[in-house]
């Protein structure tokens, strides 16, 4: 049969402090209480050993004969089972200070546990956001690709009247170079050019010698005939490679003055145009262009 031991209410106090720190979490309460009991036991054991060592040291100083072969004499227990020297009572102030330290330890353990739980939640939220963002990016890529394919399919062929104009000039080998919307930089006198980005070129329209001259050596091809959208005028422009954020070919020199400023062409920001290249076989396979404003055609 177990004999009840009076611990002065220490266990009830520890249980109460653990319950306050756990805030209703029974599993956390049991763990905190267990840790605290083990810590209290260790503290008590250290105090008992320190007190015994202090008493032995004092007795050795008073009676040198108690020291044998260099080892401190350990006092014998009395037959009653109690220590010959009782531990002096701890002042009330120290008891209150120890109580505050114990409660602070519970609070620190609870705070650390809550912090760890919050870190886990934050990491899970970041992971979910990464997965969601990646999925949205893939969806946007698919939509962009689908939209691009639809635009390519929806591109109209060259209008008949442009075909007739090219035949009148003796042209052949007609290929579409690019279809694009005009931006601010395509319509201003300051830039004075129609940009033809390499990545948007649909068909190869340069002969090997021309490509080496324009692309590799970065030399311009001057006096290239351009049929304007109004069909009533043919203008000489210059084809030149420019190095900007991405490599482009450009129609320059008279582009803004003769083509954009011609009100009959109705070229403005947002206009959708098609640029075609063709050759004049009777004139040493000369390179020429035709510009179609799809807004006028529609």
- 123: confidence class by pLDDT, cuts 50, 70, 90: confident
The average pLDDT across 71-81 equals 48
pTM of the model: 0.51
The average pLDDT across 189-211 equals 94
Each residue's pLDDT tens digit, 24-43: 777 777 888 788 788 877 87
Each residue's pLDDT tens digit, 180-189: 999 999 999 9
- pLDDT score of 117 more than 70: no
200 closest CA partner among 141, 260, 256, 250? 250
Mean pLDDT (the chain, rounded): 78
Tokens at residue 71, please? 């080892």
Helices (H), the chain: 10-22, 26-62, 92-154, 160-168, 184-187, 208-211, 294-297
Q: What is the pLDDT of residue 215?
A: 92
* End-to-end Cα, the chain, rounded Å: 105
The whole-angstrom separation of Cα 52 and Cα 87 is 10
The average pLDDT across 7-31 equals 75
Cβ-based burial of 25 (10 A; exposed 0-12, middle 13-18, buried ≥19): middle
**Which residue's entry shows tokens 């720190």?**
21
Cβ-based burial of 265 (10 A; exposed 0-12, middle 13-18, buried ≥19): buried
The average pLDDT across 250-268 equals 96
Q: What is the pLDDT of residue 4?
A: 44
Q: Most confidently modeled of 108-117, 144-153, 243-252, 259-268?
A: 259-268
79 pairs with which residues across the strands?
A: none
Q: Return the percentage of the chain with pLDDT > 70, whole number.
A: 69
Q: Give counts: helices (H), strands (E), the chain.
A: 7, 7
Q: What is the pLDDT of residue 70?
A: 42
Class of domain 160-297: mainly beta
The whole-angstrom separation of Cα 18 and Cα 34 is 9
Q: What is the pLDDT of residue 242?
A: 87
Q: Return the domain boundaries, the chain.
A: 8-66+99-108, 160-297
């Amino acid at each position: 049969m177990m004999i009840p031991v009076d611990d002065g209410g220490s266990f009830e106090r520890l249980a109460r402090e653990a319950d306050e720190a756990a805030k209703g979490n029974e599993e956390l309460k049991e763990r905190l209480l267990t840790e605290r009991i083990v810590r209290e036991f260790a503290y008590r054991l250290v105090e008992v050993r320190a007190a015994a060592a202090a008493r032995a040291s004092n007795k050795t100083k008073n009676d040198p004969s108690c020291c044998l072969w260099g080892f401190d004499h350990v006092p014998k227990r009395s037959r009653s089972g109690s220590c010959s020297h009782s531990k002096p009572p701890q002042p009330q102030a120290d008891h209150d200070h120890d109580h505050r330290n114990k409660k602070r330890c519970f609070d620190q353990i609870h705070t650390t546990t809550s912090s760890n739980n919050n870190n886990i939640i934050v990491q899970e939220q970041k992971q979910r956001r990464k997965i969601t963002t990646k999925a949205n990016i893939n969806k946007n890529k698919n939509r962009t690709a689908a939209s691009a394919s639809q635009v390519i399919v929806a591109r109209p062929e060259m209008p008949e009247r442009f075909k007739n104009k090219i035949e009148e000039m003796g042209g052949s080998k007609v290929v579409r170079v690019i279809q694009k919307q005009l931006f601010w930089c395509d319509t201003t006198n300051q830039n004075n050019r129609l940009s033809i980005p390499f990545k948007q070129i649909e068909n190869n329209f340069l002969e090997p010698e021309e490509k080496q001259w324009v692309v590799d050596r970065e030399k311009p091809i001057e006096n290239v005939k351009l049929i304007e959208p109004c069909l009533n005028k043919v203008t000489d422009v210059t084809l030149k490679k420019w190095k900007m954020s991405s490599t482009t070919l450009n129609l320059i020199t008279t582009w803004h003055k003769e083509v954009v400023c011609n009100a009959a062409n109705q070229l403005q920001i947002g206009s959708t145009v098609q640029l075609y290249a063709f050759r004049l076989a009777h004139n040493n396979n000369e390179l020429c262009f035709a510009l179609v404003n799809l807004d006028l055609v529609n």
